């Protein structure tokens, strides 16, 4: 078998690494040392110089380690977005399809403040949710990523930024390929790891998870007693249209979804971001803006309007700027805080909904 990323240890929390060391008859503090190295993106045991040679050899024999390979790298013309194609290798001979995902890095260099670099993280290879406008769903779900594979992705992004002299990852959005809440446990485990102060230390308020609306998991997420941000892919203000665009709405309708959102807000007191991609002539009318204002009125909400990104196979067109501005104006006039998401990275198909795992089109 050729290359296969070995990310198992990256999926363990600091406490779990301590426990593992104890099992190996090593002092627990060596788990702390290991966690420190791993979370800096060091996966070569030889470089872990404050572990003895014997420890390093034992660990290397039991737990081989490697990050995914970056097999393609693109930077948008305006220099604001990079997209890396990551290859984790194939799982085994019986399942020879390679696990490949796209990692998007959004670079913000505001002169007046320090730079902000946001990674857009994938949680599944493919997606089973089948939203009508999205490229990721087109070829279905290959498989869930493990927590180790998700953390390896963050580390790959971190090393890329470091290598280009751009500093550190400051923010994460779980808005890449896949539905995070369809892979709940591994996603939650990855969040705990990247949040740890002795590791990447990405604060909960700097991490946002986006879902198409899996109601039980939204509630579970609210119950985690954490402050990770939540974004909801809404895209329609009524059940009839939403069910047409997003099959998940046939399982959990808008009333259930909004109740789960209220529960999250009550538990966390955090504002939810609602993503709304404007599809020309489909969901961008004035009456739909009014209906959306009705739906979100009185809630701790922020609407992100996105001109839909072009995906050849879906046939949807982005609404013209005028329509977009009118839509935003209606929401703002009704007291719903709204921003028009700046379009970035579309020349490298690195924008929302353009990520796919099949590159041999």
Pairing of strands 81-92, 69-75: antiparallel
Can you tell me the distance from the alpha carbon of 276 to that of 14, in angstroms, rounded to the nearest whole number? 38
Instruction: Find the part of the chain contacting ligand SAH (CB under 6 A) among 17-25, 61-69, 93-101, 303-311.
Output: 303-311
Cβ atoms of 189 and 156 closer than 8 Å: no
What are the start-end ranges of the E strands in the chain?
Answer: 69-75, 81-92, 95-108, 116-120, 124-126, 141-144, 171-174, 207-211, 229-233, 272-278, 301-307, 337-340
Query: Closest CB to ligand SAH among 100 and 210?
Result: 210
Catalytic residue among 21, 134, 261, 352: 352
- CB 173: neighbour CB atoms within 10 A? 20
137 binds, among ligand SF4, ligand SAH, none (CB under 5 to 8 A by kind): ligand SF4
Tokens standing for residue 359: 């590159």
Q: Distance between alpha carbon 253 and the CA centroid of its chain, in Å? A: 24
Structure tokens at 249: 């709405």
Q: What single DSSP character describes residue 279?
A: B
Near ligand SAH by CB under 6 A: residue from 38, 105, 169, 175:
175
**Binds 260: which of ligand SF4, ligand SAH, none (CB < 5-8 Å by kind):** none
Burial 182-218 (b: 16+ CB within 10 A, else e): bbbebbbbbbbbbbeeebbebeeebbbbbbbbbbebb
Q: Could you tell me the two tokens for 206?
A: 């700097």
- Per-residue x/- marks for ligand SF4, 119-138, CB under 6 A? --------x-xxx--x-xx-
Q: Which two tokens stand for residue 111?
A: 């002169």
Known active-site residue 212: no
Smallest gap from Cβ 168 to ligand SAH, in A, equals 23
For residue 275, the partner it binds in ligand SF4, ligand SAH, none, with Cβ less than 5 to 8 A by kind, is ligand SAH
Minimum distance of ligand SF4 from residue 128's CB (angstroms): 7
118 touches 106 (CB < 8 A): yes
Task: Give the nearest distance from C-beta 252 to ligand SF4 in angstroms.
Answer: 13
* Residue closest to 345 by CA, chosen among 360, 355, 337: 355
Active site residue 352: yes
Query: Of residues 21, 102, 134, 261, which has the active-site annotation?
Result: 102
Stretch that binds ligand SAH, among 57-65, 204-212, 249-257, 260-268 (CB under 6 A): 204-212
The only residue of 43, 105, 107, 212 in contact with ligand SF4, by rule CB under 6 A: 212
Nearer to ligand SAH, 182 or 289 (CB): 182
Q: Which residues bind to ligand SF4, rule: CB under 6 A?
A: 127, 129-131, 134, 136-137, 178-179, 212, 233, 353
As annotated, the active-site residues are 102, 352
Q: Which residues bind to ligand SAH, rule: CB under 6 A?
A: 133-134, 175, 179, 210-212, 233, 275, 277, 306, 308-309, 311, 352-353
């Amino acid at each position: 078998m050729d290359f296969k990323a070995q990310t198992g240890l990256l999926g363990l929390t600091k406490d779990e690494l301590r426990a593992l060391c104890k099992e190996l008859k090593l002092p627990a503090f060596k788990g702390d040392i290991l966690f420190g190295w791993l979370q800096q993106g060091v996966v070569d045991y030889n470089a872990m110089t404050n572990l003895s040679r014997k420890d390093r050899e034992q660990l290397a024999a039991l737990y081989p380690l490697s990050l995914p390979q970056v097999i393609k790298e693109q930077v948008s013309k305006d220099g604001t977005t990079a997209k890396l194609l990551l290859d984790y290798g194939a799982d085994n001979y019986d399942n020879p399809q390679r696990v490949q995902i796209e990692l998007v890095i959004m670079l913000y260099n505001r002169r007046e403040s320090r730079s902000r670099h946001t990674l857009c993280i994938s949680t599944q290879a493919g997606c089973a949710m089948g939203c009508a406008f999205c490229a990721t769903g087109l070829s279905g779900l290959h498989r869930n990523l493990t927590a180790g594979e998700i953390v390896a992705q963050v580390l790959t992004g971190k090393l890329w930024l470091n290598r280009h002299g751009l500093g550190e990852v400051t923010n994460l959005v779980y808005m890449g390929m896949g539905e995070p809440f369809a892979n709940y446990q591994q996603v939650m485990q990855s969040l705990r790891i990247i949040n740890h102060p002795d590791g990447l230390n990405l604060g909960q308020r700097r991490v946002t998870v986006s879902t198409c609306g899996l109601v039980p998991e939204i509630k579970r997420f609210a119950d985690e007693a954490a402050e990770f941000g939540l974004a909801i892919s809404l895209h329609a203000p009524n059940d009839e249209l939403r069910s047409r665009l997003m099959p998940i709405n046939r399982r959990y309708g808008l009333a259930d979804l909004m109740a789960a959102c209220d529960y999250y807000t009550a538990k966390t007191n955090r504002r939810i971001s609602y993503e709304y991609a404007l599809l020309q002539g489909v969901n961008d009318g004035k009456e739909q803006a009014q209906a959306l204002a009705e739906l979100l009125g009185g809630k701790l909400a922020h609407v992100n309007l996105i001109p839909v990104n072009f995906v050849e196979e879906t046939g949807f067109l982005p609404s013209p700027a005028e329509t977009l501005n009118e839509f935003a104006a209606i929401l703002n006039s009704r007291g719903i805080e709204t921003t028009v998401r700046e379009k970035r990275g579309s020349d490298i198909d690195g924008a929302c909904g353009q990520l796919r795992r099949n590159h041999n089109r």
